[in-house]
Chains A and B, each alone.
Chain A
Amino acid sequence: MAEEIKFARPAMLPPTLRPRARYLAYEVISDTKVEFTEVINTIWFNVIGLLGELGAAETHLRVIKDSWNPEKQIGLLRVSHTTVEPVRAALALASRIGDTPVIIRVLGVSGTIKGARKKFFGEVDLESFA
């Protein structure tokens, strides 16, 4: 049985040296359901298409897999705090996933994953009941 290779990671940087992130909640509007892998490819294709490879690198873009809700077709992206507007514009240029016409709409921006989930996905945690 093949063992999963684990890489050693550098220690976490102090907060002042970490890149500041913003989390974009997005919704894929389409008539038929779309595959998440295709959503990732479409997002990257349009970000690189509008901003170029260098511009895409500056966005620090990550499509967060755990956040994808296949029923509602909503998910989260992590980007640098300075590149929210370019990424938002790039998502507007997505018009198709495969043969399916789509609109990728940004629901909003948050500073934390937890905040984005609460605000845009309607999730509640136990603290909310206190």
Chain B
Amino acid sequence: MRFYDLQVFSTMSTGEHNIAELASMAGRLGWSGIAIADVYAGKERLEQLKANIAAVQQQVKVELIPAVTLRPADVPELKKQLNEVRHLVPIVVVAGGDYSINRAACEDSRVDVLVHPELNRPDSGLDDICLTAAASNGVAIGVSFNTVLRAFRKARSRTLQYIATNIRLAAAFRNQMVVVSGAQSRWELRDPRQLIALMVVLGAELSHAFAATADIPAMIIERNKKKLAGSLVGDVEVMDRG
């Protein structure tokens, strides 16, 4: 089984380790691929990230996927950033937390993953409107392991409660779920099987938890690579242009 982590931060934004160090640790832990999803800070920075990834890719076995994490202040900024990045990278992750951002992300099919919708909130951050929209737009709901790892005692307990709520709701509304490490350093990466175990402890079915680290991320990557290459228009795959 091929496991993919769709959100890892490198030194290009807030991360502590460079791409090569992250790839080395990810390979040791059993990941087939990781998405270097640094926080979006302009097109030049993104092109630089892609060039760095291409350079490191020649030295490591783990597949490195260029991605961006969007942390917009409001909905218009989210739309603007999506217009700028969608055609440049295979993976677009939106950092949730604010309800209006959560909802706008769920309602926009250009978003691949909405991570930690429960961050810094007194609730799980998602309602039936968001989940229905996410299901119809193919937006996956992301569980960020880093939000659990960095919280402690009461805050961790609350975070686990809200993640468990979102897992239950996502199963009810048939949403796609993914688990990301959200690692800011190589020490925050984890074995994919341990992330699956955390999902299972929080109420996910084992098969859904496996899909959240393997099948669904792989499907998103493949779909978007085809779209970027122009061989997928909407849901129709172009087999022969002649």
Contacts and interface: CB of A to CB of B under 8 A. Distances in A.
A92 B190 contact: yes
B194 A95 contact: no
Interface in B1-59: 25, 28-29
Chain B's interface: helix, strand, loop or mixed, by majority? helix
Contact of B188 (A50, A88, A89, A95): A95
B149 A106 contact: no
Interface residues of A, number: 15
Contacts of A93: 148-149
Interface string A7-40: 0000000000000000000000100000000000
Contact of A103 (B29, B193, B200): B29
A92 B29 contact: no
Residue among B188, B189, B190, B200 with the highest chain A CB neighbour number at 10 A: B190
B201 A105 contact: no
Contacts of A95: 149, 187-188
A85 interface: yes
5 contacts: A95-B149, A101-B187, A103-B190, A103-B191, A105-B29
Interface of A: 29, 50, 85-86, 88-89, 91-93, 95, 101-103, 105-106
Interface of B: 25, 28-29, 145, 148-149, 185, 187-191, 193-195, 197-198, 200-201
